[in-house]
Amino acid sequence: MRFRHPTLVLFFCALAGISVAAVAPARSPEALMAEVLAAMTPSQRAAVRAEVQDGRVLLTVQRPQSEALLIGLRQAIASRNASGATDCVEPSKSDRATTACRVYAVEPLPPAAPGRVPARDVRGLIAAMTEDEKVDLLSGTGFDTKAIPRLGIPSLRMVDGPVGYRGGTVTGKATAFPAAVAMAATFNPALNKEVAGAQADEAKARGARMILGPDVNIQRYPLGGRNFEMFSEDPYLTSRLAEAYVRGVQERGVAATVKHFLLNDTELQRTVKSSNADDRTIHEVYGAPFAAVAREALAVMSSYNPANGIYASENKKLLVDYLRGELGFQGLVVSDWWALRSGVGAAEGGTDLEMPIKYFYGAPLREAVRNGIVPLSRIEEMDYHILSVMQKIGLLDDPKPQGPFPKYPKSDPPAHAQLALDAAEESIVLLKNEKAPGDSAELLPLRSDRIRSLAVIGPNSDVYRSGGGSSGVTPFKSVTPLEGLQRRLGSAVALRHVDGVRIPRDFVKSTPLDENAGIAEAARAAARSDAAVVFVGDVESEDGDRPGMGLPGRQDELIAAVAKANPRTVVVVLAGSPVAMPWIGQVKSVLVAWYPGQQEGQALARVLFGDVNPSGKLPVAFPVRLQDSPSAKGYPGGPSGIDYTDGIYVGQRGLDKAGIKALFPFGHGLSYTRFRYGPVSVRAASDKAADPRVEVSVEVTNSGARAGAEVAQLYVGQDAPSVDRPLKEFKGFEKNTLKPGETKRVTFVLDRGAFAFWHPVKRDWVVEPGRFHVFVGSSSQDIRGTAEIDLK
Ligand code: BGC
């Protein structure tokens, strides 16, 4: 404890019987600031903003142009017998222009108290660590934390998710599962959990005990470069899948890292652009998935961007007050890679671990601790967060230091390849399916006994397509759509393959093509075949947004030419985000397959030819045009960043509010069979607004001729709320596989969470008494039944 007030010092000294003369009264921070300012040169004074913050003198220098200025400030501090610390090492010159440098001054610390007795629990380990070890533990060594062999503390090894174990050229290959958006399209949390578990097993087998996933940010805007890594535009759906992923990983003794906290959904200038959202929007939308897993997840990754003007990694209001205080998170907050912008700020702001290597948490933090600018107790708390995660996953019981990453296994476990196939098949969404002129049935599924020839066209027809960046997995083997069709059809159907065009910025398939000739050749192949399938898409990756919502390059032209040549044209879109479809009226069938993982080709062949009945639903609405997106107004934002002016009206909710029809709405997805919904019934076990419990049930029948799975969806809307609320919010779903003629009763249980909103003035969740509507349907716009509930 440091006594700053002489009267208090006198009082305690008198109590303790200490001679008063032995204690020198400390200067107040204001007095110290005046002394330091007086010790500066006029030009130094002109360059700084001096203030007292948290009992310390803080000198802020905007965009420091020279080291000499900072050294001069430190000399001024030292000349007044005070301790200082400079908190502005820059990882990259390009960011320098935006950064302020902070220099702190405080009274020197009294000598350290003697250490406590070591013990083998987390607190005991911390007590046994030297001050340097305590600081050293707070920064990484690549993808590991630093081991302290002297105390038997091993390193905690991390690996990227959420598509699979991201090894690449350094650490090897792994099973590549479908992208997160595809996993969300399954609307199947149990399957998501299984896939997460398989990823954890692969990580663990290679010594990694912390997966850097799931990414539970909200797919807010169609151009977001990392949309494919995020589950969905909807907070409820994202929350359920986040829970499944976290449980799947953590049940295997591996820590899940929920990322990127917070408001990290576009990639344009991602390290400098602030995302600005109000409290209600954070609570109801962007923070909701973090809230859903906050008590379970062992780790959270703070994001690159500033949130409401303050870097996420040092945003005390979000990391400490909201995440730890309000949401009850007790685990470890890890920085994104190279994301820190200060040591003192991040340590105090709530980031426990700096990755990938020691930078701000190196010398600057050590000095700040030595000089008492950051209390050692805060460092110990950060150590505690790291070590207790290690303890919870059993790593402290097995204190072998990590060796180098183990050698590549030779292949993926067969069960995982099968799981990747199952997941891909379940994630594919049938957007449109109509009859071609003269046909008696819809174009899909194609019939291998009727079709003798098939044109296989497009830049994505013979490539393994996945999202790029830190979630990119290198599979042992992958199956392209063309290979999948060849395997499925053998010699029974003649395949005519033409790429036609290239996708600009394609780093996988980049050999140039004569695209005029390619389009003409594709049209000829289509004209000569019984049907044509065009595989198109976008190339998406971390660290850049998509330039537009249209299919890049000349893909639209290719589709139009093929559709003109053959009325039996199917389009398959491989992309992680909504794409514009100006050709939608010209083709009979459209599938969106996202980035389906290593079994891409097999899954698509099986869906196209009806071995699998598609059951995916859209986890994100596809607007007709980019400007229809409710988030379009805020993007790319001005100097203060991106304002989330659409508030809680992200995606479908915003389209509903504006009365804009989506090209394909949230929750949409067709099947090769049909489902009939019975009347919706409601039973209130409690109709008290304070603690509601309502059961909504409906019978769903497969009224078609094939087995298939249907995702029954439930939405809730409040009649005349006291604040503006969405017409309806997604609050429940259940997926069931039904044989032809089979009926299943689906029951949704609604509690407080289904009716509540975040009251901006009361700053609390509120359920208002009154009438609520429930909507049950096959998509957000295909509502098959409604009912009312009156809460008292
Ligand atoms: C990404 C993180 C990732 C980290 C480590 C960063 O660029 O934003 O999601 O976990 O790299 O690869």
For every residue of 455-484, DSSP letters joined together read: EEESTTTTS----BSTT----S----HHHH
What is the share, in percent, of the chain residues with pLDDT greater than 70?
Answer: 92
Residue from 92, 143, 160, 227 to probe ligand 1 pocket by mutation (most atoms less than 8 Å from CB): 160
Tokens of residue 592, six digits: 């969106």
Q: How far is the CA of 775 from the centre of ligand 1 (A)?
A: 39
CA atoms within 13 A on the CB side of 90: 16
Contact 350, 342 (CB under 8 A): no
User: Considering the entire predicted model, what is its pTM?
Assistant: 0.92
Cα–Cα distance measured from residue 750 to residue 719, given in angstroms and rounded to the nearest whole number:
17
Specify the pLDDT at position 20.
Answer: 37
Determine phi and psi for 85, rounding to 5 degrees.
-155, 140
Q: What is the pLDDT of residues 284-313, one digit of tens each?
A: 999 999 999 999 999 999 999 999 999 999
At 284 the pLDDT is 98
| β-pair type (531-537, 453-457) | parallel
Residue minimizing CA distance to atom 4 of ligand 1: 337
Asked if pLDDT for residue 116 goes beyond 50, the answer is: no
**Is residue 22 scored above 60 in pLDDT?**
no
Are the C-beta atoms of 115 and 127 separated by less than 8 Å?
yes
| Strand ranges (E), 593-692 | 642-643, 675-677, 681-686
Confidence bin at 166 (pLDDT 50/70/90): confident
What pLDDT, on a 0 to 100 scale, did the predictor assign at position 86? Answer: 86
Amino acid identity of residue 73, one-letter, is L
CA dist., res. 31 & res. 4, Å (int): 11
Alpha carbons 22 and 37: distance in angstroms, whole number? 29
More confident residue, 3 or 372: 372
pLDDT in tens, 182-200: 999 999 999 999 999 999 9
Q: Tell me, what DSSP letter sits at residue 662?
A: P
Q: What are phi and psi of 692, to 5 degrees?
A: -75, 150
Rounded distance from Cα 336 to ligand 1 centre (Å): 6
pLDDT at 524: 98
pLDDT, tens digit, 9 for 90 and up, residues 724-744: 999 999 999 999 999 999 999
- From the DSSP assignment, how many helices (H) and strands (E) are in the chain? 24, 29
Catalytic residue from among 215, 234, 336, 656: 336
The question of whether 790 is a catalytic residue gets the answer no
Select the highest-mean-pLDDT range: 56-65, 119-128, 142-151, 709-718. Answer: 709-718
Q: What is the mean pLDDT of the chain?
A: 92
- The whole-angstrom separation of Cα 104 and Cα 613 is 64
Q: Which two tokens stand for residue 488?
A: 């499925």
The rounded Å distance from CA 287 to ligand 1 centre is 20
Rg for the chain, CA atoms, rounded = 29
Q: From CA 485, how far away is CA 605, in angstroms rounded? A: 5
pLDDT at 409: 72
Q: Is residue 89 over pLDDT 70? A: no
Are 534 and 458 within 8 A, CB to CB?
A: yes
Residue 144, classed as helix, strand or coil, is strand
Q: What is the pLDDT of residue 487?
A: 97
Inform me whether the pLDDT recorded for 10 exceeds 70.
no
Tell me, what amino acid is at 624?
A: V
Which alpha helices (H) appear in 206-358, and where do they start and end?
A: 235-250, 279-281, 288-293, 316, 344-349
Report residue 209 CA to chain centroid gap. 19
Q: What confidence tens digit (pLDDT) does each residue in 204-226 have?
A: 988 899 999 999 999 999 999 99
Our measurement of the distance from residue 90's CA atom to the centroid of its chain's CA atoms, rounded to an integer in Å, reads: 26
Separation of CA 495 and ligand 1 centre (Å) = 41
Q: Are the C-beta atoms of residues 100 and 60 closer than 8 Å to each other?
A: yes
Grade residue 100 by pLDDT with cuts at 50, 70 and 90. confident
263 and 277 Cβ atoms separated by less than 8 Å: yes
**How far is residue 783's CA from residue 780's CA, in Å, rounded to a whole number?**
7
pLDDT at 13: 37
C-alpha 470 – ligand 1 centre gap (Å): 5
Q: How far apart are CA 276 and CA 286, in angstroms?
A: 11
| Amino acid present at 353 | L
Render pLDDT for 690-713 as a digit per residue (tens, 0 to 9): 999 999 999 999 999 999 999 999
Amino acid identity of 412? D
Q: How far is CA 79 from the centre of its chain?
A: 49
Q: Distances in Å between the alpha carbon of 555 and those of 516, 591, 624?
A: 12, 16, 17
Q: What is the residue whose two structure tokens read 């030819």?
A: 609
Q: What burial class does residue 683 get, using C-beta atoms within 10 Å of its C-beta: 0-12 exposed, 13-18 middle, 19+ buried?
A: exposed
Interval 615-641 mean pLDDT? 96
Supply the residue whose CA is at minimum distance from atom 7 of ligand 1.
Answer: 337
**Ligand 1 centroid to 688 CA: how many Å?**
45
What residue's CA is closest to ligand 1, atom 8?
336
Burial 695-731 (b: 16+ CB within 10 A, else e): ebbbebbbebeeebbbbbbbbbbbeeeeeebbbbbbb
Kindly state the tokens that stand for 153.
């503390």
At residue 404, the pLDDT reads 67
Between CA 613 and CA 474, with CA 539 as vertex, the angle to 5 degrees is 75
Of 467 and 65, the structure prediction assigns the larger pLDDT to 467
Direct distance between the N- and C-terminal alpha carbons of the chain, in angstroms, rounded to an integer: 52
More confident residue, 620 or 22: 620
Residue 366 has pLDDT above 90, yes or no: yes
Question: Token digits for 333?
Answer: 């907050």
Token pair, residue 18, equals 């200490």
For residue 506 the two structure tokens come to 């394609």
Residues with C-beta less than 6 Å from any ligand 1 atom: 160, 212, 259, 336-337, 470, 542
Q: What stretch of H or E contains 658?
A: helix 652-658
